[in-house]
Every structure is written in C-alpha cells, then in structure tokens.
Structure 1
Amino acid sequence: MKLYVLLVCYLCLLYILPITWVMKIIFAIPAFVLTYIARTTPCEEHVDLDKKAVLITGCDTGIGHELTKRLDSLGFRVFAGCLFQDGPGACQLRQQCSENVKILQLDVTNEEQVATAFKKVQEQLQDSGENLWGLVNNAAVNGMGEVEWVSVDAFKTVAEVNLWGTLRVTKAFLPLIRKSKGRIVMMSSMCGLVSFPCTAPYSVSKYAIEAVSDALRCEMFKWGVNVCIIEPGNYAGATRFFQRSTVETFMKNVWESMSERVRQDYGREYFDTIVKHLCGFSETGSSDLSPVMRDLTDALTSVSPRERYFPAPFSWKFIVSFFLYFPASITDIVFKISSHWFNLGITINHHNGTSKSNGKV
C-alpha cells in the first residue's frame, strides 16, 4: 500500500510541474517500471504459520496434489479435497504427507459433499484451536473444441466445476476465512486472460473466475481478507489437462455430439487436423511446477500478497501480453496467417449454405 501511495504522490507531482507532457511521460516510465519490479518480487516478510490451516480443492493430481505436499512441508494443517478420497492420488498423499494432512471427499459440484466437508473442517478446527487461513480453489476440468462443435451441455459441464463449483466452495467457507482475516486463492489461467481458438469452453469459465475474483477482492477489503488470482501458463506436462489421451477422449465425444450437418460441413480431415494440433500443444507444456508452487506459497504466506500471479515462461508472458494489449485488428492477423500456415482453411459453398474442404487440409 505504501508503494502505491508513493507512486500516486510522485505522479501528482509530475502533473503539477511546469514541464511538457513528453517530459512527464518520460519521468513517469521509471516509476511504473520500479513499481512493477517491486510488485513481482516475492515478499521476504511472511505471516506466522502457527495454528493456520488451508483447504485445497482438486488434490487428486496436478497442482492441488503438489501444493498439498508443499504446504505440509511448511507446517500448515492441510485439508486436501479429493474427488476420490480412496483413489490413487489420495492414497499417495496419505503415504507421503504427515498427519497434518486430512483427506476430504469433495466433489465441488455436489452441494451435500461441500456441506459435509465444511462440517468436518469446522469440527477439526474447533478441536485443534486452529483457524482456516486459506482456501485454494484449484479443482477444474478442461474443455476444448471450436464453438460450433461443442454442445451447450459440454459448456455447462465445464462451468459446473470451474465456475459454479468454485463459487459453491467459496461461499460455504467464507465465514471461516473472514474470521481469520485470511486468504482466498483462485486458480485461473492464461486462458482467463486471452481466449485462443478451440479454448472457448475452458476460457468461458476462467474469464468468469477473473470477474468473480475481482469483485470478491474489493468486497473483502472491509474484512481484511486478501483474494489472489493465479494465472498459470501451459503446464500440460505436469497436469492431465492436455495429456494426449485426455484430448483424444474429449474430442471423440465432441465429434459424436456434433450434428450430422456440422460434421459434413467441416469434414473429418479438418477435425482430425485440429485434434492433432491440440495434442501437439499438450507436448509443449512444462512439467516443472515450481513457479506455480512459488506463487501459490507467496499468495498464502506473504504479508503483502499480490492481486495476480502469472507463473509462466517468458515466451508465454510475451504471447499473452501481445494479445492483451494490441488491438484485435492486429492480433487477428496472427490467427489468419496461422490458419493458412497450418492449412486449416475451408471454402464456403454459398449455393447450398454448407462448407467443404478446400483440398488443402
């Protein structure tokens, strides 16, 4: 907060100084650069972890699984919500973690399971004298495919977990978080910042998470609660989101749910090319979750956590920034060029209102 006050004072001083606007802009740039560096550097001052507990959803695999082990090593009491409390992921946590980790059966789409989990957490906290300091909304599923291909029900299925599940858990546990003046961590994605072709089902839910988080962050100021958003890049190598088998299974269901007319208009060859491209994307993702773990840990333990964290390689940060800050008239050129580059174009038959392959797919 002091940093922002100093920045505002400095900019006000520049505004009233009798110098040209060009000079004002030149002098303002270093201030913004220094502020960015300060805000993106992890804070060395941390909260006292004594008597603090954290609830994490989606701990069967991936980020939630690794975060459970990470927080356990730091001394947190961890309530690890798993879709399958007796599944291989939950069993692995029981074997590798200390007694501070409690496995919960938690399907975030199930009201009854969320209510039961809340009751168990509340009882455990009362018995131990601890407080629920953090809630990490990590549970999520993927969805992919062109908008015309994916059924409305498939869109709803993704949103039921990623959006409504997050809201359901957050609303249930907010009273405990408010009591401790703790942290709510929302797992978004770079797809919550930029929607790429074939990511609409997933991006819709993550854009919504961004909106909910921004509103909730401001609403929680009066309670002393911090709301942080994590926007990871492509970590397909460490999660099941873009594993080849996952992509192929999902896209098989997409093809089967498409109407006969849409299948004929796009053609199987074009569809298979898209699937191949998506599978290729799955093989480029990082398998090193350490940047994500670092930012999640900072969000939960820093005295002054950031509002947003973007753990991603520089290449993805550059790509996302390009699409965020340049006008669509420029960024769309990239997709038009890539469409021809990957031979993904189709020719519209205006006589019968259908489409056919141009022979280049």
Structure 2
Amino acid sequence: MLWTWDKTDAVVRCGLVSAVLTVAARAVISSCCWSSFFILWGALATLYVISAFPQVSTKGRAVLITGCDSGFGLHLALHLHKLGFRVFAGCLQADGRGRAGAESLQKLKSDRLHVVQLDVTSQAQVDKAVKEVKKILPDGEVLWGLVNNAGWATYGDVEWVSLDTVSRIVDVNVLGLIAVTKAFLPLLRRSKGTSIFTEASIREMAAKMWESMDPEVKADYGRERFEARVQLMKSYSNSGDTDVTPVLNAFTEGLVQRWPQVRYNPMNVYFRTRVFIATHLPECIYEKIYVG
C-alpha cells in the first residue's frame, strides 16, 4: 500500500473528529482526560489504515478506459496493463489518425490490451464497444472497472465561447460520461466493480474562438486582452506537476482497494493549500493571494 496525501488527510481528519468528541465528552464527564483524545485518534487512524490496506487481485479482471488517445488515459492504460489487468483502451481515433495513443498501444501486441474505437458522444459507438468487450472477455474474467477519463475543455470569457463549443463540452463531459456508464453498468454490476469519473492545442483553440466571436465582442475586449488571456492559459497549462505518478496511483487505488474511497485528490502541498483556502476561508483572502 502506497502512502499518499489522501491518507495523510484522512489521518488528520481522524484527529479532528477525536478532538471534537473528546471536548464533548469532557463537557459531560468531567473526569474524562485528554489522554482519551490520543487513544481515540490512534484507534480511528488504525481502523482507517486497516480498511485502506486490503486489495483485490488484478488477475481475471478487466478495465475499460475512455480517452486513451493521449494524456492520463494513455498513461493509465499502460500502467494498468503492467499491473496485470486486461485493458480496453477507448480511443477517439482507434486507427491512429489522431494522436499517437492508439498506435503506441497497438505496438505492444499484447493479448491483454485491446484498443477500442470509442467516441463517447456517439451512442452507436458506445453500443458497439459494449458488444466488443463482451465478445473479447474470456470466460471467467469480468469487467471490473470503468474509468471515465474522456474530457474536453476550453477557456475564455463567456462571450468569447460559442454555443457550439459549450454544447461540445456538455456532450463529452456530461452526456458522454452518462452514456458510457449506463451502457457498461450491467457488466460492472455482475462483477461488483468500480466506476471512476475524472474531469483533460491552445493556439488552435484560440484561433477558432477569435474567428467565431461576434465583431462587437471583439471590439469591446480587443485583441490585446484576448492575447493576454491566451498567454495566461498557456502559462496555466504548463505550470502543473509533470509527474503523473500520483494521479495514476489514485486511479489504481480506486480500482484495487477492497473498500475504495468516494473521492481521491492526488494533489501536492501547494494545491492542497490552495484548495483549502478556496473552500474554507473567505473568498477575499483567496482572491488577494491567487487572483490579485
């Protein structure tokens, strides 16, 4: 079992709960001493660690991952295959005409790694993928996990983004996720498996956005402000942690833990602090520190 920031968070929360219970107990029972806090904290933390430890075997279990053309989907497909899972890698362009993900997966020539054509916005392709998975799964093996990794996003002010773009985002990130989950739930239910949801060229996107923008909006905002926002997005996209290992570990734990968590947060200390400030402190403090 890997020790992660999620587990550290859980142990700290056990301490907070123990502190609240101890204070409440002292208010009712004056003889209750503070040593009970440490005993309770230790007991709760031990129970948590014990519950997080048991793992299922990867043998005889398959996982379907959407969005394996690049990014996390591609990395996760390779990672889970290495761990022993049978992997169905859903790609938007399984013939390799798009990004190199499908081609690199097919080059492995493994009997446990299958590239599946899967556009999550196409019900016909979703239905076909279900049939293909059923056909390929050997007797005695089950579809254990579904990782809804496929996602699409844009950036910019509301007036800059066309309704077609918004519709595309909803189709991929919401309706596509629901369609794939509904289609594969019967297979997952039989194996009592797991479903994981995730939220994935800036210059090309910016060009299309500017071309489709209303002339009045262009005049109001100006090209200079638009380009400044594009540069900000480039900086934001390149400022993240380049090590994808924590994310892959979070995906893996969600699939192999006997009692998986509802939510995994594979963030480093900086982003955990930032999220804490954003969610627990007044908005003005967050804006002063991070927005300016």
Q: Give the secondary-structure state (helix, strand or coil) at the position aligned to 2:146.
A: strand
The structure-2 alpha-carbon separation of the partners of 1:329 and 1:282, relative to structure 1 and needing over 3 Å to count, comes to: closer
1:72–1:98 CA contact under 8 A, matched in 2: no
CA contact 1:14–1:24 (8 Å) conserved in 2 = no
2:273 matched residue in structure 1: 318
What's the counterpart of residue 139 of structure 1? 150
Q: 4+ residue stretches of structure 1 with deviation over 2 A? A: 3-20, 27-45, 327-336
The match for 1:152 among 155, 163, 169 is 163
Aligned amino acid, residue 118 of structure 1:
V
Deviations 1:50-74, CA, capped at 9 Å, x for gaps: 2111111011111111111111111
Query: 2-side partners of 1:32 and 1:142: how far apart?
Result: 42
C-alpha offsets along residues 263-315 of structure 1, whole Å, 9 cap, x if unaligned? 11111111111111111222212221111111111110012221111112211
Of the candidates 304, 326, 348, which is equivalent to residue 259 of structure 2?
A: 304
| Per-residue deviation, 1:89 | 1.5
Residue 33 to residue 109, structure 1, CA distance change in 2 (3 Å)? farther
State the Cα distance separating 1:157 from its structure 2 match.
0.8
Q: Give 2:260's aligned amino acid.
A: P
Instruction: Work out whether residues 52 and 133 of structure 1, in 8 Å CA contact, stay in contact via their aligned partners in 2.
Output: yes
1:328 aligns with 2:289: no
CA distance in 2, matches of 1:276, 1:6: 43
Output the amino acid matched with 2:24.
Answer: Y
| 1:292 equivalent in structure 2 | 247
Q: Which of residues 191, 195, 198 in structure 2 aligns to 1:187? A: 198
Matched, 1:92 2:118: no
Shift of 1:249: 1.0
- Given residue 67 of structure 2, which amino acid in structure 1 is its aligned partner? G
Where 1:286 maps in the other structure, the secondary structure is: coil
Q: Name the SS of the counterpart of 1:18 in structure 2.
A: helix
Counterpart CA distance in 2 for 1:78 and 1:157 is 27
Secondary structure of the corresponding residue to residue 144 of structure 2: strand
- Please name the residue that 1:44 is paired with: 53
Shift of 1:82: 0.7
Aligned match of 1:191: none
Look up the equivalent residue of 1:108 and give its one-letter code. Answer: V
Question: Kindly tell me: are residues 325 and 29 of structure 1, through their superposed partners in 2, closer, same or farther at Cα, counting changes over 3 Å?
Answer: farther
| Contact 1:133-1:182 within 8 A present in 2 as well | yes
1:168 to 169, 173, 179: 179
Cα 1:28–1:186 shift into 2, 3 Å? farther
Tell me by how many angstroms 1:112 deviates.
0.1
Quickly say closer, same or farther: Cα 1:16–1:33, change in 2 above 3 A: closer
* TM-score normalised over the length of structure 2: 0.83
Alignment of 1:63-82 (within 5 A): 63-82=72-91
Q: Which amino acid aligns with 2:105?
A: L
TM-score by length of 1: 0.68
Partner of 1:260: 215
Is structure 2 residue 128 aligned with structure 1 residue 116?
yes
1:93-125 CA-partner distances (Å, limit 9, x unpaired) = 122362101111000000000000001112223
Q: Distance in 2 between matches of 1:305 and 1:79?
A: 21
| Structure 2: gaps spanning 5 or more residues | 1-10
Percent of aligned positions with the same letter in both sequences? Answer: 36
How far the C-alpha of 1:322 sits from its partner, in A, is: 1.1
Q: Is the 8 A contact 1:7 1:31 kept in 2?
A: no
Compared CA separation, residues 269 and 115, structure 1 to 2 (3 A): same
Q: Separation in 1 of the partners of 2:118 and 2:92? A: 5
Q: Contact (CA 8 Å) 1:15, 1:24: kept in 2 or not?
A: no
Distance 1:269-1:13 versus aligned 2 partners, 3 A rule: closer
Greater RCO between the two (CA within 8 Å, min separation 6)? 2
Measured on the aligned residues, the alpha-carbon RMSD in Å equals 3.5
